[in-house]
């Protein structure tokens, strides 16, 4: 299965008991059951990864592929205590955050940051000052930690406690990053 090269699919409607059967079969090695789960959840997972990746479709596709490879590898650890979608979503966010940490460490080794603690996922972008940005572009321009918290809290509905656990930060830091992100988005949209 080549997850990264698949075009967006229409979500399939799977009844909860049908989904748990698919999960059980996939845990037993049934690749067709896992493919059905992939088709069911691909678009939603891609959307959150795309936002976390700063609207970079290539990075989002790479993260999507990595998330589903990791899901296949860790499927045995899914115990059914939460919905499969919740488990998959959290795993995918963790893949994106782990990728970010790796990229930041690599960047720190390769160049001196010169006081710049964070970078956007896609690097600096040339934006004309007179050009008004839409909401997605404003979110994409946010520093990574602020963007991650904004996406997880405002778009995906995670609580600050959940974000703190996922991102490895204090609850207060999550709240501060959300405040910072909202302020920066407002400033961009007012330009």
SS3 string, the chain, reads CCCCCCCCCCCCCCCHHHHHHHHHHHHCCCHHHHHHHHHHHHHHHHHHHHHHCCCCHHHHHHHHHHHHHHHHHHHHHCCCCCCHHHHHHHHHHHHHHHHHHHHHHHHHHHCCCCCCCCCCCCCCCCCCCCCCCCHHHHHHCCCHHHHHHHHHHHHCCCCHHHHHHHHCCCHHHHHHHHHHHHHHHHHHHHC
Q: pTM of the full predicted structure?
A: 0.60
Q: How far apart are CA 163 and CA 97, in angstroms?
A: 11
Which of 117-126, 148-157, 170-179 holds the top average pLDDT? 170-179
Could you tell me which residue, 29 or 100, shows the higher pLDDT?
Answer: 29
1-122 against 125-191: fold identical? no
- % pLDDT > 90, the chain: 45
d(CA 170, CA 113): 24
Tokens of 144: 């990574």
pLDDT in tens, 126-160: 433 333 347 888 888 899 899 999 988 988 888 99
- Minimum mean pLDDT among 12-16, 86-90, 160-164: which range? 12-16
The domain limits of the chain are: 1-122, 125-191
- Residue 80 confidence (pLDDT) above 50: yes
**What is the per-residue pLDDT for 1?**
43
Q: What is the pLDDT of residue 30?
A: 94
Between 100 and 89, residue with greater pLDDT: 89
Give the C-alpha separation, 127 to 137, whole Å. Answer: 10
Given a cut of 70, whether residue 40 has pLDDT beyond it is yes
In this predicted structure, the answer to whether residue 91 has a pLDDT above a threshold of 70 is: yes
Size of the chain in residues: 191
CATH number of 1-122: 1.10.1740.10
Is a pLDDT exceeding 70 seen at residue 74? yes
CA–CA distance, 180 with 183 (Å, rounded to integer): 5
Q: With contact defined as beta carbons under 8 Å apart, do 91 and 119 qualify?
A: no
* Confidence at residue 168, expressed as pLDDT on a 0 to 100 scale: 83
Q: What is the pLDDT of residues 100-116, one digit of tens each?
A: 877 776 666 555 444 44
Mean pLDDT of 37-43: 95
Architecture of domain 125-191: Orthogonal Bundle (1.10)
Q: How distant, in Å, are the alpha carbons of 49, 142, 159, 167, 185 from that of 164?
A: 18, 18, 9, 5, 21
């Amino acid at each position: 299965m080549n997850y990264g090269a698949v075009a967006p699919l229409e979500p399939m409607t799977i009844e909860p008991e049908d989904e748990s059967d698919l999960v059980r079969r996939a845990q037993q090695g049934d690749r067709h059951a896992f493919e059905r789960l992939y088709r069911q959840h691909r678009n939603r997972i891609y959307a959150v990864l795309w936002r976390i990746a700063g609207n970079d479709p290539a990075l989002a596709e790479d993260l999507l592929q990595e998330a589903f490879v990791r899901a296949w590898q860790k499927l045995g650890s899914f115990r059914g205590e939460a919905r499969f979608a919740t488990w998959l979503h959290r795993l995918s966010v963790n893949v994106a955050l782990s990728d970010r940490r790796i990229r930041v460490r690599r960047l720190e080794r390769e160049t001196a940051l010169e006081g710049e603690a964070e970078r956007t996922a896609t690097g600096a972008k040339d934006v004309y000052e007179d050009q008004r940005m839409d909401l997605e572009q404003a979110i994409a321009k946010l520093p990574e930690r602020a963007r991650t918290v904004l996406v997880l809290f405002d778009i995906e509905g995670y609580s600050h406690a959940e974000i703190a656990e996922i991102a490895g930060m204090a609850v207060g830091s999550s709240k501060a990053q959300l405040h910072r992100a909202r302020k920066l988005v407002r400033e961009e949209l007012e330009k």
